Structure 1
Amino acid sequence: MDFNAVEETDALRLTWNLWPNSKIEATRCVIPFAAIYTPNKRLPNMPVVPYEPVPCKQCGGVLNPYASVDYYAKVWVCPFCYCRNHFPAHYQGISEQSVPAELYPQYTTIEYTLPRASPLHPPVYLFVIDTCVAEDELAAAKASVTQALQMMPDYCHVGLITYGTHVHVHELGFAECSKCFVFRGSKEYTSQQVTEQLGLRASAPGARPGAAPGAAPTGPQRQFVLPLSDPACDTAINNILSDLQRDAYPVVSTQRPARCTGTALIVAEALLAASVPAGSCMARVMLFVGGPSTEGPGKVVFGFGPDETAFVRMILYRVPVQDAMVMIQPQLTAYNFSSEDPSGISAEPALLDVLSITPERVLLLDAYFYVVLFHGATVAQWRRAEYHLQPEHKAFAELLAAPQQEAKAIVARRFPVPRVVDCDQNGSQARFLLAKLNPSATYNNSAAVSSEVIMTDDVSLQVFTDHLKRLAVQS
């Protein structure tokens, strides 16, 4: 079986491609069972069927090629819970010669086109404005919001939240005067607490029978998110923006203003969840922020640069699982001369250990944010002697070119672009690789098979494991 082809078809990768047949065999597997699944991976030949899936009545599993089917009794057995299910009425014509698409052996991944059960809701925009800024910056933010409201269609729904030391949720449907609900910025709220304090239900109700498509919700939800066509909404927003001032909470001269961006976003998310039917429309939070969060959830962690911390967190939240695994566990690849490979060059994974360094090999370390090309001592000497420029040493030129091509491929497909470090053994830049390796050979414990030692007092993984075993036995 071509496992790479299976991964391209189903967007699924497993740590083990063979499943154990008994519990004893499962306990002998050193590497735990795990899977990496990419739900939104773009597949070139994705089959799409124009009907709903057939679920299992007990576990909710969907009819698939691995289910046992009794065509005579029109019954299928769920492969997950072994529950017997009857086919729906429109499946009564199936037979061994006429089967639905989800039972084709090659259709292990399939998409369904579901009919929309509820009417579409107009798009919702929730403006969240930071007031811990200078007067000119606040004026520019208010002008931008006003311009955006003028360019939006009348059927769009809008809401308004302002925050500084505290969070203010403005009630646009209260015509008598400006009214808002205040949340303490230093406290972390749950969605249920926010909806209860605002007087909202946990989730917005579905469409009423006979209601027009895109009808506005009724009840308390109607007070915070209103359509622009409502005169009360336009008047309330204009009055709030014209009277909006900087955060009046006093600020100590040696500290930054208390800006509770995290709490404001939590409140905004809870408000949207309670005001808009789930899956019925596009809803977006428009955040106008003038600085780092200094109060409540998401407060900037000191000891690290705020920009660096925010950048790394943003990248970690957005990368797929494979790239996140590279951040946690860097990948090390060793390039050697090989008589077995037709190209004469072999590339194989190597352990993150100092023992992986040998004079005749080239190492490629992928640590996500930087890529290290490490040349052994012998390879570095041959390169300085320009052996790779001589026709009789074509294999050596290919050995140097192979990791260079892989590094260029990594740089081309990754954003942000990683830093490339080209170094030699015993060189100053070699520290980028040595910092990631297990110090199994140090200055006071040199291994016979190692061509490199790490000047550190840290214990190796083997010493730590042996000590842990000894403590476990003693206890």
Structure 2
Amino acid sequence: MQTQFEDYEDLTGLKYSFNVFPRNKEQEKKCTIPISCLYQPLKEKENPILIESYPIACFNCKSILNPFCILDSNYKSWSCSICSYRNQLPNVLNQLPIELDPSSLDVEYIIPPIQNNNQLSQLKPMIFTYVVDLAIEIDELDALRDSLINSIDYLPPNSMIMLITFGKHVNVYELGLNDHQSCYTFNGFKEYTKDEISKKLGINSNLNKGNITNRFVQQTNICEFTLTNIFESLKKDSFKILPYHRNERSTGCAINVAFNILSILYPKIGSRIMLFIGGPCTIGPGQIVETSFKNPLRSHHDLLKDSKVIKRFKNSNKFYEDIAEKVSINGHTVDIFIGCYDQIGLSEMECLVSKTGGVVVQSDSFTSAIFKQSFIKFLSVNEYGESQFGLNSTLEIKCKNVKVKGFIGHGSPLYLNNKDNNNKDKIKFSTEKTSKGNIGINGTNIFKLGSISNHSTYSIYFTLDENVIGDSSIIQFITSYQHPDGLQHIHVTTSQRMINLSNDSMDSVIDNFDQEGATVSIAKEAVYKVLNQSNAESLKFINKILIDFMSIFCKFRINDASSIIIPTNINLLPQFLYHLRRSNFIQIFNSSPDETSFYRHCFFMEDCFNSLTMIQPTLTSYELDKEPEPVLLDSTSIKPNRILFLDTFFHILIFHGSIIADWRRQKYQELPEYEYFKEFLELPRKEAADILVDRFPLPRFIDTEDGGSQARFLMSKLNPTTSYSNNQIQQLNDITNYQTNPNDATSGAVILTDDISLQMFMKFVYEAIVKTT
């Protein structure tokens, strides 16, 4: 059954938690886990169906023609699969539309350019705005400068560029000048309005009529020489820094200026604002800390207890939220590239990227491989020389027998403001709080996604209609976006899910349950609750949904925990949720607010496979004279004669057992007679190299050994079956056996943690299940 789910995901980009829907509201309530799906609109397909024309839409509900529509060839008409309205086929068609073919579940339309006065309309350009931090150390600036110069070669030929730098003040460069450099300077302490910026720069929206270029935004192939010269001449911010003080950095002002220029010149045209930052905002709007080192950067504890820090956090967050709202409506995207050991204020700024579909690359330095390789991968083009992402995208969901209950992912809700008689089609952004019973962003079926790529995944939650008609539900996903070629593309995925035929039995529903898809949907809802409620509420939610679900679908005798029988297709759910409870998405111990925001941002972006890797990392064992094999993410998997390979998505870790580490220190791998040992040591490194090809952002690579300081990254992820809180005498015996008999299954490392083990967790879960009535 799992293979069928994966094949359907490859075909459509959809992964449902329940592949057969409940019959009525009572059955839906019994399911406990919401009806939901993970959707990848641009998931790579083996044989994509491309149609160069406008889609054929229903006159009534605007859903697109699909294989589930009913055709009447005698009258050349079709009945809509969503609303059953009868529509006429266009007279220009000489044959049946390809959309009616049963295999056309996933179709992409390429909208031809509009022709006016015998001239084709101009293609929409891709605009890249570089916002560069100059308040960084000279070696950092040198490395960043080299990366920026190299990046020009990776930009599409039809792209356009704008350059802004900032330190104490903000500088906007004129790129239309070849004979000299010129820039306009803004005071970093002020928050400028659109009118003030327009007046100071001498620009307005009329400048864009008939000519897509201007003094500040130029085509890449025209301004490449000028831009390279400017990059080469960039110098560290020259304002004096007082002793024991941070650099004065006006990040908020720079973002505000960049967005407003784009909103004046290129509203509703896809563009990326790429922020390169090496420290916290210390002055002006969006400030997160004062310049004096007497005032430390806020921690999670400060954000819970310190009223002064909380007030500053809320003010900065509101400033960025207001910008994010406007950026989203205009179809622009903000990306943040970090090169700093310390925090830069990502927790306050994360809304800029999450609401616009942007990316975050977090590295310790602009000299690091994580930044350099991730940045190049971000800009890399496909075999046709096009960027690997779309811009200014919108997702609309149309349903039969169900309705959208919520949306979780990188995007913003759109509402049609029909109350405004002067502009009935005005689209309004909403920041409404989650209403009771709904999930994530709700109250609409239209969402602004901003930037969208092959990895972009969205979690959508549904609820049954009051009156279910027929034996199936139809759900259509319509994604419109600006393709890198400048044309508008519309990607349409239509899905049919059967409805449980029985009013009494739930066997069909649970037999078609996908525990992997359900785990990720539950996890995203749990993380969303952390962001909007609290850590404690999220843990209660996870516990309750697990116990309620297991009590419905497991067989057991009341008050007899040993009698529980778990169906095969839900047996992994408890351990997935156990690791979720311990993950960096829920727990904030030993993490800064910026780190936590980064982890959660990536989690909301990734597909099911990568999300499961984040929740429950994969662990592979390498032993001499044995094939590599996956092993339990457990402390008992650590043995002295093993190399363990851990993939957490954010980290790639190679852990050498004590015997292997000792041999490596004695450099046996350099001796000719131990060539096989050298090859053995290289095996996990080859595995790491294969993973790095597709992974974005680039994960941190760690090479460690038993007793090494960085072994903590492995220990923190393992199920502590052998922890110091267990029977210590037994552990001492295990450690003795561990040295004399490495293959002893009871061997394992002692984990210094107060966390309960998976075994103890399951004991509590079983006891709660059998007491549930």
Under a length normalisation based on structure 1, what TM-score does the superposition of the two structures give? 0.57
Q: Structure 2 matches for 1:179-198, cutoff 5 A?
A: 180=184, 182=186, 184-185=188-189, 194-198=193-197
Q: Is 1:321 aligned with 2:581?
A: no
From 108, 112, 132, the equivalent of 2:109 is: 112
- Return the offset for 1:276: 2.0
How far residue 64 of structure 1 moved from its aligned partner, in angstroms, is: 1.6
> In structure 2, what is the Cα distance between the partners aligned to 1:182 and 1:65?
56
Structure 1 pair 6–267 and aligned structure 2 pair: CA distance change class (3 A): same
Cα distance change, pair 347–160 in 1 and its aligned pair in 2 (3 A): closer
Matches within 5 A, 1:371-382: 371=653
Equivalent residues of 1:167, 1:185 under 8 A apart: no
For residues 38 and 71 of structure 2, the distance between their equivalents in structure 1, rounded to whole angstroms, comes to 29
Aligned residue number for residue 48 of structure 1:
50
Q: Matched residue of 2:57: which SS?
A: coil
- 2:19 and 2:58 map into 1 onto residues whose CA distance is 27
Q: What secondary structure, in the 3-state scheme, does the structure 1 residue paired with 2:363 have?
A: helix
Distance 1:48 1:345, change over 3 A: same
Partner of 2:663: none
| Matched residue SS, 2:263 | helix
Report Cα offsets for 1:89-109 as digits up to 9, x if no partner.
Answer: 33676xxxx521111111211
Q: Deviations over 1:284-311 (max 9, x none)?
A: 6687x69535436597968899248732
> In the alignment, what sits opposite 1:84?
85
Alignment CA distance shift 1:33-1:145 (3 Å)? closer
Letter in 2 for 1:112: Y
Correspondence list, 1:343-358, <5 A: 352=633
Distance 1:24 1:441, change over 3 A: farther
Q: Is the 8 A contact 1:77 1:85 kept in 2?
A: yes
Task: Confirm whether residue 255 of structure 1 aligns to residue 245 of structure 2.
Answer: yes
1:140-195 residue CA offsets vs partner (Å, 9 max, x unmatched): 999x999x99xxxxx9977564432233557999xxxx9957364586xxxxx753
Kept in 2: contact 1:76–1:85 (CA 8 A): yes
Answer whether contact 1:366 1:372 (CA < 8 A) is retained: no
1:292 aligns with 2:296: no
Residue aligned with 2:91, SS: helix
- In structure 2, distance between residues paired with 1:38 and 1:15: 15
Change beyond 3 A, Cα 1:33–1:138: closer
Match of 1:394 in 2: none
Shift of 1:455: 3.6
Determine which of 12, 15, 19 is the counterpart of 1:13. Answer: 15
Residue in structure 1 matched with residue 648 of structure 2 by the alignment: 367
Change (3 A) 1:135 1:451: closer
Q: 1:77 to 1:334 in 2, by over 3 A?
A: farther
Q: Which segment is superposed worse, 430-439 or 62-71?
A: 430-439
Are 2:170 and 2:250, in contact at CA under 8 Å, matched by a contact in 1? yes
- Provide the C-alpha distance between the structure 2 equivalents of 1:308 and 1:10, rounded to a whole number of angstroms: 42
C-alpha distance in 2 between matches for 1:423 and 1:63: 58
Separation in 2, partners of 1:451, 1:101? 61
Q: How many residue pairs get matched?
A: 391
Relative CO higher for 1 or 2, CA cutoff 8 Å, sep ≥ 6?
A: 2
> Alignment partner of 2:194: what SS?
helix
Q: What TM-score, normalized to structure 2? A: 0.38
Distance 1:140 1:205 in 2: 39
* 2:315 is the alignment partner of 1:311: no
Q: In the alignment, is the contact (CA less than 8 A) between 1:353 and 1:440 conserved in 2?
A: yes
1:328 to 1:246, Cα distance in 2 relative to 1, 3 A: closer
For residue 261 of structure 2, the aligned residue among 268, 271, 282 is: 271
CA distance 1:259–1:42, change in 2 (3 Å): same
How far off its partner does 1:329 sit? Answer: 1.2
d(CA) in 1 for partners of 2:129, 2:339: 30
Partner of 1:392: none
Equivalent in the alignment of 1:100 = 97
What is the percentage of aligned positions where both structures have the same residue? Answer: 27
Q: Which amino acid aligns with 2:49?
A: P
Q: Which has the higher strand share?
A: 2
Q: What's the CA shift string for 1:53-99, capped at 9, x where partnerless?
A: 1234455432221234444455444444x251523533676xxxx52
Offset of 1:138 from its aligned partner?
10
Residues of 2 paired with 1:428 and 1:127: CA distance?
38
Deviations 1:400-436 (Å, cap 9, x if unpaired)? Answer: x9xx978844531325366476978x99997654321
Q: Are 1:166 and 2:169 an aligned pair?
A: yes
* Conserved? CA contact 2:654–2:684, under 8 Å: no
> What is the Cα-based RMSD across aligned positions, in Å?
6.2
Check whether the contact 2:55–2:109 (CA below 8 A) recurs between aligned residues: yes
Change (3 A) 1:417 1:445: closer
Q: CA distance change for structure 1 residues 17 and 366 in 2, over 3 Å: closer, same or farther?
A: farther
Counterpart amino acid of residue 114 in structure 1: I
> Structure 1: how far apart are the matches of 2:235 and 2:713?
50
Contact 1:49-1:112 at 8 Å conserved across structures: yes
Alpha-carbon distance between aligned partners in 1 of 2:687 and 2:109, rounded to the nearest angstrom:
35
| Structure 2 SS opposite 1:258 | coil
Paired residues for 1:138-177 under 5 Å: 161-169=164-172
Question: Equivalent of 2:691, from 413, 419, 437?
Answer: 413
SS at match of 1:110: strand
- Distance change in 2, residues 1:413/1:141 (3 Å): closer
User: Which amino acid letter does the alignment assign opposite residue 253 of structure 1?
Assistant: P
Kept in 2, the 8 Å contact 1:330–1:365? The answer is no
- The reply to whether residue 330 of structure 1 matches residue 332 of structure 2 is no
Alignment correspondent of 1:457: 754
Q: Find the aligned partners of 1:346 and 1:261 in 2 and give their Cα distance.
A: 48
How far the C-alpha of 1:248 sits from its partner, in A, is: 6.9
Partner amino acid for 2:753? T
What letter is aligned with 1:45? Answer: N
Q: Is the 8 A contact 1:56 1:83 kept in 2?
A: no
CA shift digits 1:298-331 (9 cap, x unpaired): 9796889924873289766787435752563133
CA distance in 1, matches of 2:645, 2:14: 26
1:261, distance to aligned residue in structure 2 (A): 3.8
Equivalent runs, 1:183-262 vs 2, <5 Å: 184-185=188-189, 194-199=193-198, 215-216=211-212, 225=217, 250-261=240-251
Contact persistence 1:126–1:158 (CA under 8 A): yes
Cα deviation for residue 38 of structure 1 reads 3.1
Asked if the contact 1:372/1:433 (under 8 Å) is kept, the reply is no
Q: Unaligned stretches of 5+ in structure 1?
A: 150-154, 188-192, 336-343, 378-400
The change in CA–CA distance for 1:358 and 1:76 in structure 2 (over 3 A counts) is farther
When structure 1 is superposed on structure 2, of 305-314 and 36-45 the one drifting more is 305-314
